[in-house]
Amino acid sequence: MPTIGNAQLKLLEKLCNASAVSGDEGEVRKIVLDELKGHAGDAKVDALGNVLVTRLGSGKKRLKVMITAHMDEVGFMLVADDGEGLFRFETIGGLDVRQLPGKAVLIGKDHLPGVIGARPIHLTTVEERKQNIPLDTLRIDIGPGGGKVKPGDRATFATRFQRNGPVLIAKAFDDRLGVVSLLELIRNAPTNIDLLAAFTVQEEIGLRGAKVAAFTLDPDLALVMDATPANDLPDWDGEENNSFNTKLGLGPAIYIADSYTFSDARLVRHFSETAQTEGIPFQFRQPGGGGTDAGAIHKARAGVPSISVSVPHRYSHTAVSIARLDDWKNTLALVHAALLRLPPDILASRPA
Ligand SMILES: [Zn+2]
């Protein structure tokens, strides 16, 4: 049985603290390849940097199930050296520029410390403090003489992983939670299916790795494991928030639709019925912004019926997010149970 215990939490910590901004996923890829040693001799790295692993089952009629988790995270790329330790930068992936000033970052392979500079309150006027600060006036500052970084280097938020009982706090839960879950599934691969695992690159900048991974793996169906924003805070006016898209503590979020994909209805039914039968809590992620690697996979080749199941977390794509251990455990339990129970003929006919 795949489990989330101390070893998996340690691995999550290592992965969340690693830096893998889109297009520069090497640090996380190395951890993934190390973890796969002895569990899958056939791990391959493709031309874009995806890690592909095949675990063939042993049953008679086996569906080829592609399961993905993306290795990359949102962050920054230095683009020009202004001197005095100051660097112009671009955001990589969806980030809200309003949230950047004053944040500590780590730059490049050596994780050199820096800060996204913010002018202190002493030096600003009341009027200035009402304005948004445009990205092109922000700089990543490593301080004069602060070491060797260069344009092209990536930077991540400097947040370190913390656990407080059932609560997990870190950057990059999106999608390091999925990466650990996928490693666990490979180690405990259901034998009734052919498991085609893809640890993908460049999800946050347009699902680029998943597109080529789906071409290579040529699956019958696909399951994407990701982390999804929970918009579950009380409304600012003090009213109860009835419009949350997902909520912490309610379990895995099964997607019906997001910005890029309609989940295959047969898979949605199978996953939700599995949760009910097995007594695993779950929630339907409400449609709205965002998407997953399923957006590229379902349009690959001649089409691939797809579904996403995510762990809800607050403050996605910011310097620090909050997730709950039980939501993660229940997500992995649901995915594993749904794969074990997957009817080989689930795609044989289409609901009328
Ligand atoms: Zn994600």
In angstroms, what is the span from residue 70 Cα to ligand 1's centroid?
7
pLDDT score, position 241: 60
> How many Cβ atoms from other residues are within 10 Å of residue 58's Cβ?
8
Angle between helices 6-17 and 26-36 (to 10 degrees): 160
Which residues make up the environment of ion ligand 1, defined by Cβ < 5 Å? 174-175, 226
Q: What are phi and psi of 250, to 5 degrees?
A: -95, 0
pLDDT score, position 201: 98
Contact yes or no for 26/310 (Cβ under 8 A): no
In angstroms, what is the span from residue 122 Cα to ligand 1's centroid?
38
pTM of the predicted structure, to 2 decimals = 0.95
Distance CA 331, CA 181 (A): 9
Peptide bond into 96 cis (omega under 30): no
Interval 275-299: pLDDT, tens: 999 999 999 998 777 899 999 999 9
Instruction: List Cβ neighbours of 190 (8 Å cut-off, separation of 6 or more).
Output: 57, 336, 339, 340, 342
Angle between helices 325-340 and 173-187 (to 10 degrees): 40
Annotated active-site positions, please?
A: 203
In angstroms, what is the span from residue 126 Cα to ligand 1's centroid?
38
Distance CA 339, CA 348 (A): 17
In angstroms, what is the span from residue 152 Cα to ligand 1's centroid?
23
In angstroms, what is the span from residue 44 Cα to ligand 1's centroid?
22
Query: Would you give the distance in Å from CA 150 to the centre of its chain?
Result: 27
In angstroms, what is the span from residue 225 Cα to ligand 1's centroid?
8
pLDDT score, position 185: 97
DSSP string spanning 274-296? HHHHHT---EEEPP-S---THHH
In angstroms, what is the span from residue 207 Cα to ligand 1's centroid?
10
Distance CA 170, CA 321 (A): 5
Count, in order, helices (H) and strands (E) of the chain. 7, 17
In angstroms, what is the span from residue 294 Cα to ligand 1's centroid?
11
> How many Cβ atoms from other residues are within 10 Å of residue 200's Cβ?
32
In angstroms, what is the span from residue 104 Cα to ligand 1's centroid?
22
Comparing C-alpha atoms, which of 42, 68, 14 is closest to residue 219? 68
pLDDT score, position 349: 83
pLDDT score, position 192: 96
pLDDT score, position 320: 97
With a cut of 70, list the residues of the chain below it in pLDDT: 40-41, 235-244
For a pLDDT cut of 70, what percent of the chain falls above it? 96
